[in-house]
Amino acid sequence: MQFAKADSEAKQLRKQAGTWLKELRARAGLSQVELAQQLGLKYYTFISQVENGFGRVPTESMQGWADALGVNPRDFARELLSYYDPELHRLLFGNKQ
């Protein structure tokens, strides 16, 4: 049962991350298709999957996402880490405010 609870919490956090990413994309004035093009992705559906909590921004592409969305890459990665691995985020940076 512990795994089910952790899995449910992880899904909820990915969904929250997706909402945050969607807000960033909207502020940048980009559609999912435009963001996918800037990231060199063949299919925009990956953007949709991430924004809906069914996927994650791969670590190796965080820089590209940050650049495309017009945000500081370090801040971008730190925020995503708080959703994707909250315990590691807490160990590195303390509790999220």
pLDDT digits over 14-38, tens only?
999 999 999 999 999 999 999 999 9
Q: Which residues are CB-neighbours of 61 under 8 A, at least 6 positions away?
A: 39
Give residue-wise pLDDT tens across range 41-79.
999 999 999 999 999 999 999 999 999 999 999 999 999
Q: What is the mean pLDDT of residues 81-91?
A: 95
Task: Report the predicted TM-score, pTM, of the whole model to 2 decimal places.
Answer: 0.89
CB 57 within 8 A of CB 18: no
What percent of the chain has pLDDT above 70? 93
Domains and CATH numbers, the chain: 2-93 (1.10.260.40)
Q: For residue 96, is pLDDT > 70?
A: no
CB 55 within 8 A of CB 46: yes
> Locate tokens 């999220």: which residue?
96
